[in-house]
Structure 1
Amino acid sequence: MEERQPLWDATQTRILDAADALIERRGVHGVTIAELARRADLSRPTIYRNWSDADDVVRAALLRRVDGILSTFSADARTRTALVDDVLRFTTLFRSDPLYGRLLADEPEAFTRYTLQRVGSSQRMILRWLARAISSAQGDGSVRPGEPQEIAVMLLLIAQSAVLSHGTVADLISEAAWERELRAALDGLLRP
């Protein structure tokens, strides 16, 4: 069943805005219900009516960031080349996002916990986007046959691994070479 796009009401938006500011300033460990309430100028019970704990708020804030990045893509790619271009553009936007950039640079263990230890809402949103584009590009013959969802999973794994490891290998490979090699890996996975 297709998951719905998240919609946040005005109160939830205030809470998520507070979470964004706390994560950017202090990291995920600085996000507490008390701090969220203070920064959003809301009561703790109001926050608990929307999320069960601070961890859930962090997950929702990160989901909202992914949703924001994906909303910059006006349409799904229809060719392999356009799909690879979109994935590379997504990785650039993701790495430069203030929240995800902070996690990648300063809290890689938190990045791993929130994005790699389980497939959460953010990854499912990305997988739906990738599967639609893969299916479309299969229609024009530029992407190999296969189950779009399964190909999307592997595409996500490659891109996530490259993004997570980028800082580790930055002294070994230039930014241009990193992008070129990631492009080759993605293109190779999709090529008929």
Structure 2
Amino acid sequence: MTKRQATLAASLPSWDATQTRILDAADALIAMRGVRGVTIAELARRAGVSRPTIYRNWSDADDVVRAALLRRVIGILAGFDEPATTRTAIVDDVFRFAARFRADSVYRHLLAEEPEAFTRYTLERVGSSQRAILAWLAAAIDAAQDDGSVRRDDPQAMAVMMLLITQSALLSHSTVSELIDEASWERELRAALEGLLRP
């Protein structure tokens, strides 16, 4: 494990049992009703806690939603046991991440039913979820630069561009489905990511 990868693992947050119950309640509400259905009163009822308990951990319902989305991203990232160390492995991992992201019940709901909420929580500002993904990508890019399969440049800047390209492709996927089939969409996205990283 590289120093950057160790730093990433150490920087990821964790949640205690009460916080986990609250975030579980948020997940269920988002998947069923969308982000507008997440209120402090409903979270307290579903999690079996008092409102003050929620306010001791988060400032408002929006803050709980952001924490719930971050937890789901961390869960997806935790499924990658070995960090990528080559250009091809990085792109493969991005596609695996994208597939798991699209299959996730909460993110699937946001992409299909509330694209404006997806945009607000993932594109309008760089939040904790995006920072976790960027750190994961930058660590892999740094390792692959040592391998020689990725060009020598700022790993953080390259990670940002990879995230922008992939997020845009995911958000626009259903919009362009009549113009490009799934295989072509994957091929062209792969070519874009490979081209970004190639020496």
Question: 1:87-145: CA deviations, max 9, x gaps?
Answer: 01111111111101100000000000000000000000000000000010010110011
1:183 pairs with 2:190: yes
In the aligned structure 2, how far is the partner of 1:20 from the partner of 1:50?
Answer: 17
* Unaligned residue ranges in structure 1 (runs of 5+): none
State the match for 2:3 in structure 1. none
Partner of 2:180: helix, strand, or coil? coil
In the aligned structure 2, how far is the partner of 1:39 from the partner of 1:172?
Answer: 43
**Please, what is the CA RMSD of the aligned residues?**
1.1
Which residue, 59, 64, 69 being the options, matches 2:66? 59
Superposition map of 1:86-101 within 5 A = 86-101=93-108
Q: TM-score, normalised by structure 2?
A: 0.94
State the match for 1:11 in structure 2. 18
Q: TM-score, normalised by structure 1?
A: 0.98
The one-letter amino acid paired with 2:16 is: D
In the aligned structure 1, how far is the partner of 2:124 from the partner of 2:157?
Answer: 18
Question: 1:154-185: CA deviations, max 9, x gaps?
Answer: 01100010011111111111111111111010
In the aligned structure 2, how far is the partner of 1:10 from the partner of 1:37?
Answer: 14
In the aligned structure 1, how far is the partner of 2:169 from the partner of 2:89?
Answer: 19
Superposition map of 1:6-155 within 5 A = 6-155=13-162
Percent identity of equivalent pairs: 74
Q: 1:75: Cα distance to partner?
A: 1.6
Aligned residues: 192
